[in-house]
Amino acid sequence: MNDAPLMISVSGLRGLIGQSLTPQVATHFAAAYGSHLKQTTGHPNPHVVFGRDSRPSGQMIESAAIAGLSAVGCRVTTLGIVTTPSVAIMIEHLGAQGGMVATASHNPIIWNGLKPLTADGVAPPSDQSKQIIERFHKQDFDYAPVEQLQPIGSDDTTHRVHVDRVLNNVDVQAIRDANIKVVLDSVHGAGGPAGAMLLNELGVELVHLYGETTGHFPHTPEPTAENLTGLSDAVRQHNAHIGLAQDPDADRLAVADENGAYIGEEYTLALCAKHVMARTPGPAAANLSTSRMIDDIATQHDQTVYRTPVGEANVAKRMRETNCVVGGEGNGGIIWPVIGYVRDSLAGAALLLELMATTGKTVSQLVDDIPAYTIVKTKCPIQPGMAEAAGAAVKQAFADHAIDEQDGVRVDLPDGWIHVRPSNTEPIMRIIVEAPDQNRANQLLESTQQAIG
């Protein structure tokens, strides 16, 4: 039991239910975050909004975390089962000092976690994350006296607030007039209700797979090709124009074209960036593991792409600093600042539908407009010291090329790139390579694996 991983990073906390993530751990992490909020805001009773995804362990983790927040004097408003970007939006909507989400994103059902959010709706920056983690490890909690304890409230308007914000920023009538048929796979996660609300109000013909928020995932929940064969089949069966897949907390979006072909998570950001840059010129930001497609798109619009370490908080921070009009990560995470600085599958879905409606093009035609690359992602279990040794080996093997060490090691070659880094959310090391074709991508992957040994 002691060997079960408890991942604590800039992305929050994740662990295995009944093993590394117990109610006590959840209470302590939430108390650490609440104590941090009190210190940094100077408010004795900071307001924290709390949402969760649909995992069966969610109610238990929520209850434990709320106990920790309340114990240090936070005023908590519960939102129920909602998307992670919805929690971020509600922080602003309710004027709260922070937020917290009980979720393990795309991880399997045995996992759960806690993701803290700042008043800006993003994960705390790395220096603040370190302070929260240090409080957690030291059990340095600023417990409140009984007269400062606050009542726990609730708010049931979250879906409406989020959907309205998206609707107010797209051409609803154009999408309605396009008569688009959509298959949406919500994987029994948190995105089903808001996803259906949005798509119905956009006037699409919706075929909804696994829209109920049971938390019992019908397939492995990470929205990758091997896990979405059912979505592809449904697009073909229903003659739909596009297939969309959310992950359990609905901050990621994957796409299948009108033929049911999985076009991948990387195209979510590329297509959305192409559309946003055309309607609102400006720079973009993406993490180091994201495809060069966004660089090609930015070049077409005479714009810049700022690269950051992996992690939504890192991308959002750079976006704010450089006034980016769009950004995100190649895992299907689109960040559209007019909605919020959090990856958002609802924003991504609306932008894709507006792009289809305003251009009259199919998804496959839109994909053909973007220079194609082959990206290969693999992972392996990580042992202590392994990431440092792997990074050093890759640097030595590719010493003649441009190297970026913001997050692990990224090597940029004339015809591709390599990124080797430890995951923030799982006990694994990721190896990602991209090249113009499959053969070259395989060569780069093989060279990288040989260097690591």
Burial class (CB in 10 A: 0-12, 13-18, 19+), 77: buried
**Which of the residues 54, 57, 70, 105 is marked catalytic?**
105
Strand-pair partners of 183 = 207, 243
Torsion, Cα of 384, 386, 389, 394 (10° steps): -160
- Locate tokens 């009980």: which residue? 102
What is the SS3 string spanning 386-445? HHHHHHHHHHHHCCCCEEECCCCEEEEECCEEEEEEECCCCCEEEEEEEECCHHHHHHHH
Is the Cβ–Cβ distance between 214 and 230 less than 8 Å?
Answer: no
- Locate tokens 């649909």: which residue? 54
How far does CA 69 lie from the centroid of its chain?
24
Taking the C-alpha atoms of residue 89 and residue 446, their distance in angstroms, rounded to an integer, is: 43
Give the other-Cβ count within 10 Å of 179's Cβ.
11
Taking the C-alpha atoms of residue 378 and residue 349, their distance in angstroms, rounded to an integer, is: 27
DSSP 46: -
- Is residue 105 part of the annotated active site? The answer reads yes
SS3 (DSSP) at 11: coil
Q: Which residue in 231, 220, 299, 311 sits closest to 7, CA to CA?
A: 311
* DSSP character string of 65-110: HHHHHHHTT-EEEEEEE--HHHHHHHHHHHT-SEEEEE--TTS-TT
Is the Cβ–Cβ distance between 222 and 247 less than 8 Å?
Answer: yes
- Please name the residues in contact with 375: beta carbons below 8 A apart, sequence gap of 6 or more: 264, 266, 291, 330, 432, 433, 434, 441
Q: How far is the CA of 344 from the CAs of 7, 101, 258, 367, in angstroms?
A: 23, 14, 22, 21
Burial class (CB in 10 A: 0-12, 13-18, 19+), 263: buried
What is the SS3 string spanning 236-295? HHCCCCEEEEECCCCCCEEEECCCCCECCCHHHHHHHHHHHHHHCCCCEEEECCCCCHHH
What is the SS3 string spanning 323-346? CCCEEEECCCEEECCCCCCCCCHH
Q: Which residues are catalytic?
A: 105
